[in-house]
A and B are shown apart, each in its own frame.
Chain A
Amino acid sequence: MPAITFEHVSKAYRRHWGRGSLREALPQLFGQVVGRRRPDDADLLWALRDLSFTVEEGETLGLIGPNGAGKTTTLKLLSRVIRPTSGRIEVRGRLSALIELGAGFHPDLTGRENVYLNGTILGLSRREIERKFDAIVAFAELEDFIDMPVKRYSSGMFVRLGFAVAVHVDPDVLLVDEVLAVGDYRFRDKCIEKINEFRRRGKTMVVVSHSKEMIQRLCNRVLFINHGQAVFMGETRKALELYHSGFVSEELRRRGQVGRAQGKAIAITEVEMLDAQGRPARAFRSGAPATVRMRYRVADEPIESPMFYCRVRRGYQILHSATTARVGLSRTFPAGEEGIIEVHYEALNLLEGEYGLNVGIARDQFSPILYDSHDDVLRFEVHSFLHEGGGFVRLPHRWQLGEESG
């Protein structure tokens, strides 16, 4: 008997309902009563469409997918915060959610008062809370602050208390939504340990995370959804591979769009990134080859040996800059010429994360004059495994213990 059953579940939101005022709503209501206007399909936003899955007792299911895929909607349906538009959902046993920790905390109340309040919201009786109170406070490491109003807590303390209450509900089914992105590392490890303990005790869990690490560490199986539909359900490794290889978020799918070329002596008209096979790509394995292809157009005057540059960035930090000047590539670009220039990266030695490109054309290496420039024109993802290291740069390495290397 599965602990969670999701059967042909769909969820639609009405786009233009609520948040409104009576002035807009009255004609609409009237129209509905008279039968002229019914909410039509165009008005509906489908967050989930016909999603089915089951989670067996004691199993940990990972839920992955890009933003807006329907992960959070799925969790909210499971926790009964929202109701499905159609389909059937069944959850066996007490459910608790590590979603938005400390929701329901009141800033003016003390930590102690909030523990009781939050505990009852999560379904504990006062007696149960009394019994677990010391354990909760100890877990949150807030013994000295428990009688202080939580508005004077740091955000870390706040989250710690929220987590401590939520995990002490001792549910049969636990939903975990990206909560571990907060808090310091040490507390985070403690939380992961607590979640692992749940798993060992045979509790059922559903985990939503963007962190590959979390999914790998916790899940038996993974459901990969996109546009509210299941893409893949099965082995964790396979799901992650699928998600991180062919699949890229919509935002990244956008082509390298550049502004208009008009009025520029020489301009970049298009930027594209290609994989080893020459296909457009926005996601790469760490260490894989990649190519940046730029199209350019020269205006009415020939340009004498301009310098093209291509920079890899992460946030505002430039990690690498390549220019044609550094390698002595130069020639005259005749008037009206249109062409392609490519940078071939033998190996993208970057680690897991999202990176961006700055491209442009300057008069020469030392000139401040830019013919054209496009910052953050295109984003791409790099995927690496835990053992390859953390940070930005891939430094192939190995550890050796015991003997001096000879």
Chain B
Amino acid sequence: MIGHLRELWRYRELLWSWTVREVKVRYKQSLLGAAWAIVQPVGTALIFTIVFAHFIRVPTGDIPYPIFSYAALLPWTFFATSVSLATDSLVRNMNLVTKIYFPREILPMASVFAGLLDFAIASLVFVGMAFYYRVPLGWSALLVPLLVAVQLLLTLGVVFFASALNVFYRDIRFIIPLGLQLWMYLTPIIYPLSLVPERYRTLYLLNPMAGLIESYRRIIVQGKMPLAAQLWPSVGIAVVLFVVAYAYFKQAEQVFADII
């Protein structure tokens, strides 16, 4: 593990270049360019607001629904886009994988890091919304980078498994969108965590994204500190998943070029 991380460190410039490449390629030749980063979460938040604030009326306390859902959609979109793009990253770049040596985790990692820019751009919209709805951003919002770091670990864990398995079984590519959809409904994005029945709560929080999303909302919308019971399970699962997935990835990496 240490050896792998050390090698990754030696290749940090490649990780950087490849991330920049992913960003450039994503925005080149698309009419709206970086605006797409905003369109997706904003569009989804809009639809959710219409459906869940006006038709179904999901109770969100004194938080306006648009900002309630957008605060959750922001990190969720980052997660979901990263996972779907990174899963395919090894197969998509097979001409490289079969020709040149470099630590293969750079490919899925770059896909994830490239999503950070989208995340940042889309966050600007949130700041605007916060002004509009007069949601005071408290000191607790300074914890966002910490949550992002945990989310990154978690995302990388998922992505290491998914991208490596996708090399062996191309079915993974088709399972991912379905899985992400299910996952979204099991995460408090549309609805608040308080709507989940008390007795299922512990089980529910085994979904690491659940604790994370709820914590995001607490620190940026409600101006409160995250609850240990909500956040710690996510942190633990993220760390364990990352370590196990990375070890698996490096093991599987040895035969990538044989198979791809």
Q: State the A residues within 8 Å of B (CB).
A: 13-14, 17-22, 25, 76, 79-83, 97, 99-100, 103-104, 106, 108-109, 113, 116-117, 120-123, 125-126
Contacts and interface: CB of A to CB of B under 8 A. Distances in A.
24 contacts: A17-B259, A18-B167, A18-B258, A19-B170, A20-B169, A21-B169, A21-B170, A22-B169, A81-B97, A81-B257, A83-B255, A99-B99, A103-B95, A103-B96, A103-B99, A103-B100, A104-B95, A108-B24, A108-B28, A113-B24, A121-B18, A121-B96, A121-B102, A122-B100
Nearest to B101: A80
A126 B24 CA distance: 18
Contact of B101 (A20, A79, A108, A113): A79
A117 B259 contact: no
Given A21-B169, A82-B257, A104 B17 contact: no
A109 B13 contact: no
A346 to B, nearest CB: 48
Contacts of B28: 108-109
Contact of A116 (B17, B98, B258): B17
Nearest to B21: A117
A22 B96 contact: no
B14 interface: yes
Contacts of A108: 24-25, 28-29
Given A13-B258, A82-B257, A99-B99, A106 B13 contact: no
B123 to A, nearest CB: 27
B100 A22 contact: no
Contacts of B96: 103-104, 121
Contacts of B258: 13-14, 17-18, 82
A369 B161 CA distance: 67
B171 interface: yes
Contacts of A117: 17-18, 21
A50 to B, nearest CB: 19
Nearest to A124: B13
Given A14-B258, A25-B168, A120 B100 contact: no
B254 interface: yes
Contacts of B257: 76, 81-82
A178 B254 CA distance: 26
B21 A113 contact: yes
Contacts of B93: 104
Contacts of A104: 93, 95-96, 99-100
Contacts of A99: 99-100
B95 A100 contact: yes
A25 B17 contact: no
Contacts of B167: 18
Interface string B8-44: 0000011011100100110011000000000000000
A21 B169 CA distance: 5
B25 A100 contact: no
Given A18-B258, A25-B168, 12 more contacts: A14-B258, A19-B259, A25-B169, A81-B101, A83-B255, A97-B99, A100-B95, A104-B93, A108-B28, A109-B28, A116-B17, A120-B17
Contacts of A76: 98, 257
B19 to A, nearest CB: 11
Nearest to B169: A22
B13 A125 contact: yes
A126 B100 contact: no
A116 B24 CA distance: 13
A76 B93 CA distance: 17
Contacts of A18: 167-168, 258-260
A100 B255 CA distance: 20
> Which residue, of A20, A97, A113, A120, has the highest number of chain B Cβ atoms within 10 A?
A120
B24 A109 contact: yes
Contacts of A116: 17
A182 to B, nearest CB: 15
A108 B13 CA distance: 21
A18 B257 CA distance: 11
Nearest to B14: A120
Contacts of A126: 13, 17
Contacts of A79: 100-101
A76 B260 CA distance: 14
B29 A120 contact: no
A123 B167 CA distance: 25
Interface in B154-177: 167-171
Nearest to A113: B24
A318 B180 CA distance: 63
Contacts of B171: 21-22
A1 B95 CA distance: 34
B158 to A, nearest CB: 18
A116 to B, nearest CB: 6
A117 B96 CA distance: 12
A76 B256 CA distance: 13
A76 B254 CA distance: 12
B21 A106 contact: yes
A64 B95 CA distance: 24
Interface in B187-208: none
B13 A120 contact: yes
Contacts of B13: 120, 125-126
A79 B101 CA distance: 6
Interface in B211-260: 254-255, 257-260
A79 B260 CA distance: 17
Nearest to A79: B101
Contacts of A81: 97-101, 257
Contacts of A80: 101
Contacts of A103: 95-96, 99-100
Contact of A109 (B21, B168, B260): B21
Interface in B45-100: 93, 95-100
Contacts of B169: 20-22, 25
B107 to A, nearest CB: 11
A359 B96 CA distance: 46
